[in-house]
Chains A and B, each alone.
Chain A
Amino acid sequence: MTRGDYAVLGLCALALPALFVRYGLPGSSGTQARITVGNSIYAQVPLSRAQVYRVPGVLGISEIEVRAGQIRFTHSPCQGQQCVRSGWAKRGGEFIACVPNRVSVSVLGQGAGGDYYDSINF
């Protein structure tokens, strides 16, 4: 390691925190979620504000909770409770559905870097 090496590494070490502050983490969170009932959009909700939404589906009311940039089903009138067990969704492109009640939630991405892909090939 020469003095120049230390200079380069030092500059990089200084630049990295600045970059993290400037650009943040990739796909850290979606900013909005779309709640759909049947084939129509019921509401588009911000993930920044904690709130519980009571969404009427075909079987009854689905309760959807938003907290700390995440969204989940807390109560559902359906039998299987798959939607509740799916837990939190937060990344762009994530999707939870209660098929029996025909209520679904999808987190909207921020475009590239925000949308969550399973895989990318290039």
Chain B
Amino acid sequence: MRGVNPKPAAHVVLLTTRTDHRIAWLAALAITIHIMESALPSPLPGVKPGLANVVTIVVLCRYGWATAAWVNGLRVLAGSLLLGTFLSPTFVLSLSGAFCALLVLGPAAWVARWAPRWAPGPIGLSVLAAWAHMVGQFWVAYALFVPHEGLFHLLPILLTVSLVFGVASGAVADVVIKRLEAASV
């Protein structure tokens, strides 16, 4: 390549902030969990624990919605590239799930501002995210892939499962947040 381009391009300096680095580290963590989880066998199609949700909730509680959105978006994108599902139906479902989860988490985190007494903690946020993820996926699956009413027969049972997993990963996120607070203060 040296012969082709005698004048090397100007040295490009990417200015990165502390926040950028934080997002990158947290996204790396979320991607790792995402990929590890994809190797777990699933008892039912469409059912997985959503362990990366733990990272989303921890990030949301500690660093706010914008960072959580970045981390979650990067997880879906990079996770799909690494798993080879980029732009496949799996990716579309994953993306729409993450999008809806963030869409719901925004107002939920905002409630903490104007009604702190009613602000959901990690467990409530996790359940909200899990349900939004599932419902969002269902809409998109119905609209794009399986336009049949029969699909919705699966919804109640999958929402029951995601309620359980949502509470579980919320409890994990709660512990992680408390440890982080104890460690950083």
Contacts and interface: CB of A to CB of B under 8 A. Distances in A.
Interface of A: 1-9, 12, 15-16, 19-20, 22-28, 109-114, 119-120, 122
B167 interface: yes
Give the 8 A-B residue pairs with the shortest CB-CB distance, closest first. A4-B120, A113-B150, A8-B124, A5-B124, A19-B156, A113-B153, A2-B121, A111-B148
B150 A2 contact: no
25 contacts: A1-B121, A2-B124, A3-B118, A5-B124, A6-B124, A7-B118, A7-B120, A8-B124, A8-B128, A9-B123, A9-B167, A12-B159, A19-B155, A19-B156, A23-B152, A23-B153, A24-B156, A111-B148, A111-B150, A112-B148, A112-B150, A113-B152, A114-B153, A119-B45, A120-B45
Contact of A5 (B120, B157, B160, B163): B120
Interface in B111-130: 111, 117-121, 123-125, 127-128
Contacts of B119: 2, 4
Contacts of B65: none
Contacts, number: 83
B156 A16 contact: yes
Given A9-B127, A12-B131, A19-B155, A4 B148 contact: no
B38 to A, nearest CB: 12
B153 A4 contact: no
Q: Which of B89, B118, B128, B153 has the most CB of A within 10 A?
A: B153
B157 A26 contact: yes
Interface of B: 45, 89-90, 111, 117-121, 123-125, 127-128, 131, 146, 148-157, 159-160, 163, 167, 170
Nearest to B122: A5
A24 to B, nearest CB: 6
A110 B120 contact: no
Nearest to B151: A112
Contact of A23 (B124, B125, B156): B156
Nearest to B150: A113
A113 B151 contact: yes
A12 B154 CA distance: 16
Contacts of A12: 127, 131, 159, 163
Given A9-B167, A25-B157, A122-B90, A4 B150 contact: no
A16 B151 contact: no
Contact of A16 (B123, B150, B160): B160
B157 A9 contact: no
A122 to B, nearest CB: 6
A32 B119 CA distance: 50
Q: Which of B45, B150, B155, B160 has the most CB of A within 10 A?
A: B150
Nearest to A18: B156
Given A3-B118, A15-B159, A25-B156, 19 more contacts: A1-B121, A1-B123, A4-B119, A4-B120, A8-B120, A8-B127, A12-B127, A12-B131, A16-B156, A16-B160, A19-B156, A23-B156, A25-B153, A26-B157, A27-B153, A109-B150, A110-B150, A112-B150, A122-B89
